[in-house]
Every structure is written in C-alpha cells, then in structure tokens.
Structure 1
Amino acid sequence: MASDYFHLLNLIGVAFFAISGTLMGHEKNIGGFGVVVVASVTALGGGTLRDVLLNHPVFWIAEPDYLYATYSAIFIAVIFIRHLSHVSNYYMLLVDALGMAIFNIVGIEKSLIEGTTMIVAITMGMTTGIFGGLMRDVICREVPLVMREELYSTACLSGGLTYATLSLLEVSYVWCILGALFITVFLRLGSLHWGWQPNIFRKRSVRKQ
C-alpha cells in the first residue's frame, strides 16, 4: 500500500511540474518542441538528480509511466492555454508550489528507502523539489524562484522538518505525508499572497543624527 501511495505521489508531482514548465514556456513565447523540452526538464530534472546522487536507476527510465504522465500533462496544459484568452502567471506559481511540495515528499521517501539518515533525506527532498524548477527558470532566463526573496526553499525545508517530526512521533504514514504537504504549500502560497519573507540578512536601520 505504501508503495502505491509513493508511485501515485510521484506521478502527480511529475504532472504538476510538467504543467508549470508548459505555462512558463507559454509566458516566454517559446514555440513548438521548445515547450516540451522546458516542461520535460522541469518535470524530470529534480528526480533525475536525486536518483543519480542516490546511485539508483533513474525513475523515468526504469518506469516509463512517468514519461506518459509528463507528456499527457503537457498536452492537457496546451489545450487549457489555447482555450483561455489569458493565462495568468499565478497558475504557474500555484502548480509549481504543489509540484515542489509533492516532490519534496517523494525525495524524502526515496532517500529513506535507500537507507539514508533523516537529515540526508530532508536535503534530498529539497533537491528533488527545487532542482527541476531551477533548471526551468535558468533555461527561460528568469531569476530562479529559489533565489528570490520569497519563501521557497524555506517552505520546502519546513515541510521536510514537519515530516521528520511526525515520523519521530510515530504518526501514521499518510498523515506524515499530508502534514508535510500542507506546511510546504501553506508557506509557499502565504509567501505569494501576503509577501512572507525569511529576511535572514535584514540590514539594521541607521538612525539619523
């Protein structure tokens, strides 16, 4: 049963990131096959890096279901875009947040299955959740979301810590996943709606004499 949840989560995460890549390609007026490239890199990049680092067979090569999910999501996103007069960048940020949250969990789970410690698993979850979007933004010549003054990697880390805490308390597997997903998405969307920022390097105000 756990493996079924894991597989389904991975498929959903791939689909969300493929949609976010397609929406970014539309925003940047990338045509033809270029959209497929951007969307595929977004959907598969984070998981590919994760599997390479874990010395594990790359997930979309071992199980082509992920390629079907990627291309299907691209097709659906293209149809969605073609039938709307205007597609806001908000949709891209929304599906990116959902994809990041899901891939964060998938990265943690896969690392733990491979026998890593929890701190390595949390780091691998962040890598899985962030890297695909990072590659998308670089290809499209955008300042990567992870580099902006928003809760992005911090939201991902908070989700990982939530998963670790619930797991340590021996909470049910499903609730560990749901709790981590909720915290990650809540913080990310809160950053978008209310401008939450970590402000780690906030400068001190200088009093005028």
Structure 2
Amino acid sequence: MRLFTICPNTGSYSYIPTDGISLNLVAGVPCLTLGCYAWCSSAQQPKDPSVNILPVTLTESTKKEIQAKVNTLRQYYLKYATLHNSSHGFSFLKEEDTCNNEQDVVVSLELPLSAAQPYYEFEGDIDVVLGAYAKYYNESYEVEKENILCSAIIKMRDGAKLSFTYTNRYGQGIVIKEMMGQKFRFVCSNGHLLRLDDYKFQDFKLS
C-alpha cells in the first residue's frame, strides 16, 4: 500500500498529501514515532513504549543504503509498505519495493502546528494505528477536553474520508486564527490520498 504524509507546507500552510512517511532510526531500530510532532511532547504518553513506536521491517536494499549512510542519515523516506500485526499484539510496517494493488493507504498526520489543536472527523473505515493524545484547552486556559487525538498514523480504506479543523490552542498564534475557519478534507481513492477539493471531487461532499 502507499504511504502518505499530511503536514503544512512551509510558509503556505496549505495541505497537500505528500508521498511517503519519514522513517526514524531510534537506537538502530527503524520506526515511525510521534515524538517530533510539534507539541505532542506534552501529550499523554502511555508507559508501554510500543504504543509510541511503530516498527518497520526494511528490504535488503534499504538496509544496505542505511548502513552506508549510518553516520549521516537521520531519516529515511518510506513510500510503500504492508501493515501487519505481530503475535505480541502490536502493529508493524513491512517495506515493499513497489506498490501492490491494495487500495488502502497509511497516512501520517504530522499535526498540529505549535499553537493549534486539530479536531478530526473520520468517515468510513479508518483505524488509528499509532496515536498521540493530549488535553485541549479553551481561551480561558481551562481544560476543555481530555485525551483528544492530536497526531496519528492512520490506515484508511478505499472511500474513507478524513477532515479536520483547527482551534487556537491557548488563544495564541495569528496564523492559526486565519486558518480556523477552514476545513481540510481528504479521501482515500484507488490507493491514493487526495484532497476533496481536487477537481475530480468537486461534486463529492462530506456528509
């Protein structure tokens, strides 16, 4: 299946899905983590580290490439993989050289921006494979909601739809205020992740 990332483009804060997910090397273990996702360091973190790390099994060619660059390589871009469950109950990705015919996609939601809280809406068949959760605050700095998803790696099946809007965390950030009226919407279609305002989906509405 294809892997995608949703994060704001630097300077424009437009959301266009990009191919692949950035792979981290933690103590020599290739994995996807949520530790670098903006303010997620303040999110509620379970004691079990396997909840925060999604291991990746690499092809031999990727292993050789990483080994050759091990002293300088901080991240590696993973584009195709299959999702599996281990006998110990945790998920892992197995890298593929090319995309197979699977219609599902895995998406990394590298959100939110540092002064924002995203509110997600899922429609259709979507699983949260790896998530970071946090407290959400109102403009009076009071806790508004507990344990709300703020960043995640999700699996979307064909036809599933994702949308999110921003609220302004702690009432900070002029850029965030400008984005608060927008709704960002995406659909999994035929093994790809597309924005719903793509020309192919002008008449395609979220219910």
Q: TM-score surpassing 0.5?
A: no
Select the structure that is richer in helix.
1
TM (normalized to structure 1)?
A: 0.28
Select the structure that is richer in strand.
2
